[in-house]
Amino acid sequence: MKKQPSDAAENNKMADLEQDRESGTDQFLTTNQGLRINDNQNSLKAGERGATLLEDFIMREKITHFDHERIPERIVHARGSAAHGVFQLYESMAKVTKAKFLNDTTRTTPVFVRFSTVAGSRGSSDLARDARGFAVKFYTDEGNYDLVGNNIPVFFIQDAMKFPDLVHAVKPEPNNEMPQAASAHDTFWDFISLMPESAHMIMWVMSDRALPRSLRMMEGFGVHTFRFINAQNKSTFVKFHWKPLLGVHSVAWNEAQAISGKDSDFHRRDLWEAIESGAFPEWELGVQLVAEEDEHKFEFDLLDPTKLIPEELVPVQRIGKMTLNRNPDNFFAETEQVAFHPGHVVSGIDFTNDPLLQGRLFSYTDTQLKRLGSPNFHEIPINRSVAPVHNNQRDAQMRQTINTGKVAYEPNSLGGGCPFQAKMEDGGFHSHEERIDATKVRARSKSFHDHFSQATLFFNSQSAPEKDHMISALSFELGKVETIAIRERMLGILSQIDKGMAAKVSAAIGVAVPAKPEEPINHSFGADTDPKSVQPVKAKSSVERSKALSMENTVKNTIKSRKIAALISDGFDAKQLEAMKKALKAEGAQLKIVATRLGSITGEGGEAVVADFSFLTAASVLFDAVYVPGGAKSVEALSLEADACQFVNEAYKHCKAICSTGEAVEFLKKTFAANSEGDKAIIFGKMPVEAPSDFIRAIGEHRNWGREAARKSVV
Ligand code: HDD
């Protein structure tokens, strides 16, 4: 284990989780039975040139194990990256929940967090346009608590019954297995165009939220409304949020596509490297609390997972901080085998009747049985609870626990009645006693029928560049749809969200908005239901714009862990380079040298700097900003290098901060960065005084998205 949390109690908990680790160093090679292996190079043969013998139990064991190395990948969220960390509570939430890890500010709770894309296979690119999974396992003293959320606060569908349809529609088309990790194809939009309840979620996945700059710069959401239960068994509704301390930032779509080619592990690498370098990712856990008696005071239903509670109506209270401080040791054992489940709760947290959540409560155990192969998946080290487990479950494939004694039933007298039920005051889980007096039906509540008002709220809350990106994304996705009737139906949906947006997409994809956009529309009802009775309605949203929904309003005052490329060639100005490196390092950012070749590059005064990358091994899409130091010879060489010019042009196109000092201004003049008038993210600086601070401010802004509108007249 590389980094041990300091707290002693926690060390013990972590030690429990570590007990099955095996380093393989300083040890003899053995079979799985512990027999030392003498020759790992040759199979047992009848003579040097003879046939291999069936007797070779060592080779058979090795190959059998290899043959079974792959387990089924997750049907969704197959592509994932994870890390260990800790959660620290700021203030006791005892008033609303009896969950001990949310009561005691002196406790540190270990966590394991897995981020994922949804649609792609395990080997697909990190930069697909997609929602991101954000699943947190809290190893609490009262058992494991899993908060299995996404980086988007709402979902496509309202009822779990539709989940297989949604996933079949978005996955590669079954006849030709295309496209991989992409929603831009007919089956997805066919389904969406017939499911108006997805309108709100579609706005989010067509926004830049679906293209995070880093997993460390994403928000997380529990999506459903859950319940907190306090010691008096009083219930309070709760929505969970994760707020990244680095802010919420995204890349451009064109950039995402290029990153997929240059480094399809971009997010995985970024998370790994940040943790290795000590720049530990941090999020604050936020809660929105709604008193039980206020359940019906909103214009939407709290049980509808296609709705969020605007922060203007219920503020997010930040109650603790999660820090990821340790990379997994073994991807398969930890990241691949971790088994999350929304039904892994602790006393003090309970469910609501959200029909999507209710279905999830079934699905996750079922999927783990298939994927991990046995009901003993809880015994895999990464899934083990740090709270002791005692019950009468026995046997099954791959059982690890060696239960002693003959009592495996309850009630019993031979085992002294053990293990016995826990009273509520001893932490025994007691389901929230909700009064239900209902007719058994297959139906959707009328309170779920407003599909468009929050989609409109989301669109209206975006800045102008964010709206442009959404329109481009929709134009791209629907432009890839071959069936014209699907494009038309989608325009019908979009026009009910925002007519201006629909008109722009319509112009881009060459299909007119249908005259009667509201029909045909809703397919989320049974065959005997009168369609008119279930058509979407549009509620009046009590909030017209919500600040929290736009990334424009996020944290923009830090460049911690950002990567900046310095373009150099022989003859660069070493003093300027050093000054910039120092200034960026002081702010927690890294300056990486990208040069005309790898190896040692010589400065004007004979100084030597080793290149981190060459123009062959790097690309501007892998960096947050570009700096070009002076030095006449270096600048001349860069000016003649098409890749160097392209590096800057791409950074310009993706609205990044670009800075030159000394003679490098001449190089920038040969690129689009020459269009710097009024562009605060293009800095022609004098070193060492002004350039770093202006540059640092510009990088902190993340991007100058306003450049795109200006660029249209230039590029
Ligand atoms: Fe799910 C995995 C999040 C709806 C069925 N889901 C999975 C993961 C995340 C989510 C983050 C990956 C966990 C990991 O890293 O291992 N899922 C969500 C959210 C949803 C949601 C936020 C809606 C609010 N999911 C949902 C429904 C169903 C499922 C309605 C089925 C009825 N989800 C699964 C699954 C997966 C899964 C098939 C695949 C692998 C796994 O569970 O362990 O059971």
First to last CA, the chain: 51
Three-state DSSP at 83 gives strand
Give the pLDDT confidence score for residue 513 in this predicted structure. Answer: 97
String of DSSP letters for 491-508 = HHHHHHH-HHHHHHHHHH
Q: Six-digit token pair at 641?
A: 């290098």
Which residue minimizes the CA distance to atom 4 of ligand 1?
Answer: 360
Ligand 1 nearest-atom number relative to CA 80: 15
Give the pLDDT confidence score for residue 524 in this predicted structure. Answer: 76
Give the E-state strand segments of 245-330 in sequence order. 282-291, 317-326
Active-site residue, 230 included: no
Give the pLDDT confidence score for residue 567 in this predicted structure. Answer: 98
Q: Distance (Å, rounded) from C-alpha 108 to C-alpha 386?
A: 13
Q: Is 348 left (phi over 0), alpha (psi -120 to 50) or beta?
A: left
Which residue minimizes the CA distance to atom 26 of ligand 1?
Answer: 360
Q: How far is the CA of 355 from the centre of ligand 1 (A)?
A: 14
pTM reported for the whole predicted model = 0.95
Select from 360, 365, 383 the residue to mutate for testing ligand 1; criterion: most ligand atoms less than 8 Å from CB: 360
Q: Distance (Å, rounded) from C-alpha 122 to C-alpha 451?
A: 33
**Nearest one of 380, 374, 378, 377 to 396, comparing CA atoms:** 374
Ligand 1 nearest-atom number relative to CA 367: 44
Q: How far is the CA of 76 from the centre of ligand 1 (A)?
A: 7
- List all residues 6 or more positions away from 346 whose beta carbon is below 8 Å from its beta carbon: 99, 100, 101, 140, 142, 143, 144, 145, 429
Ligand 1 nearest-atom number relative to CA 133: 11
**Nearest one of 549, 560, 464 to 216, comparing CA atoms:** 560
Among residues 144, 150, 325, 383, which one is catalytic? Answer: 150
Q: How far is the CA of 684 from the centre of ligand 1 (A)?
A: 49
Q: How far is the CA of 204 from the centre of ligand 1 (A)?
A: 18
Ligand 1 nearest-atom number relative to CA 75: 39
Q: How far is the CA of 686 from the centre of ligand 1 (A)?
A: 53
Q: Cα separations (Å) of 623 from 18, 256, 364, 586, 639?
A: 36, 12, 38, 18, 20
Q: How far is the CA of 143 from the centre of ligand 1 (A)?
A: 21
Q: Six-digit token pair at 174?
A: 């079954």
Residues in the chain: 715
Q: Distance (Å, rounded) from C-alpha 32 to C-alpha 645?
A: 56
Q: Distance (Å, rounded) from C-alpha 521 to C-alpha 532?
A: 10
Select from 159, 162, 363, 369 the residue to mutate for testing ligand 1; criterion: most ligand atoms less than 8 Å from CB: 363
Give the pLDDT confidence score for residue 20 in this predicted structure. Answer: 58
Active-site residue, 150 included: yes
Give me the amino acid identity at 401.
Answer: T
In this structure, the residues whose C-beta lies within 6 A of any atom of ligand 1 are: 74-77, 80, 114, 116, 133, 135, 148-150, 155, 160, 163, 223-224, 305, 338, 340, 356, 359-360, 363-364, 367
Point out the residues of the chain with pLDDT beneath 50. 1-12, 15, 713-715
Select from 340, 371, 383 the residue to mutate for testing ligand 1; criterion: most ligand atoms less than 8 Å from CB: 340
- List all residues 6 or more positions away from 69 whose beta carbon is below 8 Å from its beta carbon: none
Ligand 1 nearest-atom number relative to CA 364: 44
Q: Distance (Å, rounded) from C-alpha 270 to C-alpha 200?
A: 30
Which residue minimizes the CA distance to atom 23 of ligand 1?
Answer: 155
Q: How far is the CA of 498 from the centre of ligand 1 (A)?
A: 30
Ligand 1 nearest-atom number relative to CA 150: 22
Torsion of CA 31, 34, 36, 37, to 10 degrees: 0
Cis peptide leading into residue 179 (ω within 30°):
yes
Give the pLDDT confidence score for residue 520 in this predicted structure. Answer: 61
Q: How far is the CA of 170 from the centre of ligand 1 (A)?
A: 15
Among residues 77, 185, 344, 702, which one is catalytic? Answer: 77
* Angle 182-213-259 from CA coordinates, rounded to 5°: 55
Q: Distance (Å, rounded) from C-alpha 46 to C-alpha 167?
A: 53
| 8 A C-beta contact, residue 115 and residue 269 | no
Give the E-state strand segments of 62-211 in sequence order. 80-89, 108-117, 132-140, 143-150
Backbone angles phi, psi at 480, to 5 degrees: -85, -10
Select from 71, 73, 75, 77 the residue to mutate for testing ligand 1; criterion: most ligand atoms less than 8 Å from CB: 77
